[in-house]
Structure formats: structure tokens, C-alpha cells
Structure 1
Amino acid sequence: MTRPLPTDHSDFYARYVNMVPETDLLAAMRAQAPLTRAAVLAFADRPDQAYAPGKWTVRQVLGHMTDTERVFGYRALAFARGDTSPLPGFAQDDWMDSAEFGRYTLEDLLTEFEAVRVGHLSWLSHLPEAAWERRGTASGQGVTVRSLAYMLLGHERAHVEGLNERYSGRKGQRG
């Protein structure tokens, strides 16, 4: 699979796409799973830790990762299926205010994230070649299915890196 071009997504999402140097995206997504699980479970004894006042807790970060996985995945699915309806953005902080992730165990949140990812891997692995190039509009910006798939992994990696660096103080350990 070829990498997305800079014109395949907005500059805002380039960070996530750039966190994925691999061209075998699906294999990279599968390989990320144990790294994410290990990074999250390192906080099993302190899931409500935040790295600074007013920042999200570990539990909230994982909940946000799952919400974003669903949003990016839905966008990719809609565009892959030829839906050209513009899709709205999502206000992550507003979603967080209503999420109540503190009601979940860390393991339950992790299991949910993994289940959503497995579902995405299933349908992405069967996506026809032409569908990867389909484009739609989300958050007022054009984006391809290929870019959205890369963003799924890049977003996960960004938050695992944040957990490793900001929450545990381990610099430079990308998951």
C-alpha cells in the first residue's frame, strides 16, 4: 500500500499520518496491539492519574482513544462505501464531559478499544483497492480513506507515546 500524500488529508492530521512510516498498515496495526496494552496496563494501579492538573486521566485517555477510533473508523467506512455527505467534527472535550470513563475499569476500556480495532482491521483487510482512494469531507476538510486508516494508527501511537512520556516519564519510547 502506498502512503497517503499530503493532499490526502488536512495539515492538522499530518502528525498522525507521519507517525506511521510503515507501508503495510494492517500489519503495523496488529503489531501495535501488545505495545498499547502494555503501555496502558503499566497504569493498572493508578488509572486515575493525570500528568498535570486539569489534564485527562489514563482512563480518560484510553476512552478518548476509543471514541476517536470509532469516529475515524466511521468516516473511513462512510467514504469507502461512496457516501459523499460531509461529516461533522467532534469536540473531544465536550465528549469527555459526558463520557463518564471513571465508571469503567481500565481493563474494560482496553478490551473495548481492542474490540473496535479488531473490527476495523476486519473490514479494512477486505477493502477493494479503489476504496482506499475514495475521498470525503470531515470537519470541513477533504480526506481519503487511506489517510483515515493511517490516522487510526497514528492517533493510537501519539497517545501511547504521551502515556510513556508524560504519565510515566519514559522519554522516547514509542509504542
Structure 2
Amino acid sequence: MSRLRFSLGVAAWALAVPLLTGASQRPGNSAAVDPAAVNPAQEILDTDRAFAAKARETDVGAAFQAFAAEEVTLLNRPRAKVDRAALATLFPAGLELEWAPEDASVSADGTLGYSWGKARSRLRKPDGTVVERPPVRYVTVWRRATRDAPWRFILDGGTVDPEWEAAQSKAQ
């Protein structure tokens, strides 16, 4: 009986050591842990980065349309509620918008979350002049129907970055 307990103890230890040390998760191992499983918000961070990349590659309106739910709330617009179809033409020609998420969080059921980060924008006018706008700290709220569905943003907005604003006050 003690030999059986010893054998079971050794077997349990042999199975536990790779899990505890991460030895089973070497590069190329098909059992490697999915980053989204370790950090459920990783999918939102990745989606927000893809959204930003699309805005750089195409134009802002097309990017917003591609990642939007059917109806969204844009806090920085005079009319906050916007249909997805209207997003393609909502932003002015020549607008360049760049952003990067800094953090994100996801609800326990995995269907609602948010990301936030910093953004910069500039407007290239037809005469060639460029109007640089103050940097923004933004928040985007994301939703999906099920854990397997794609994330779609339902709310987006921002405010002038407080760090930039503080630096402006000190400079004056």
C-alpha cells in the first residue's frame, strides 16, 4: 500500500512540475497557453490595435465603420447616437487619427469590456496646411454577442489628455 501511495505521489508530482514551471509551454508546443486565456482583455487590446491600424491604412470613417456595432454612441459629436452606415462619411477628409490602447478590461461573462489609451489627430486641409489637435485620452466600450463573436465598439469618446493640459499650464 505504501508503495502504491509513493507511486501515485511521484506520478502527481511528475504531472504538476511542468505545469507549475511552465515547461509544457515551450515555443512551438501545441499546448502553449493562449494569451487571451491568461488575460481575457487581450482580445480587446488586439481588436483596438487592429482598429487603429485600419484607421492609418484606410481612412478614419472606414475604420470606425468596420469595427462598429449597428448603432454607436460617439461622445465627442453633437449628435451622439450614430448608425454604422453613417460612420463612413462622418469624419472630415484629411483627418489623420492615431491611437494606442494602454489598458482594457472584460466582464465576467466575456461579452462586454472597454479599452482606453491615448490618441493624436491632425487635419490636413486642401490647401496643404496641417492643423495639429491636442492629444486625447480616450475610452472605447466594446460588446459582443457571445464569447466567440467579434468585438464591436458601442461607445467611444475622449477628453484632452490631462498630462498635456498640465504641461501647457506650466509653460504659460
Greater per-residue helix proportion: 1
TM-score normalised by length of structure 1: 0.26
Structure scoring higher RCO (CA < 8 A, sep ≥ 6) equals: 1
Rg larger in structure: 2
TM-score normalised by length of structure 2: 0.26
Greater per-residue strand proportion: 2
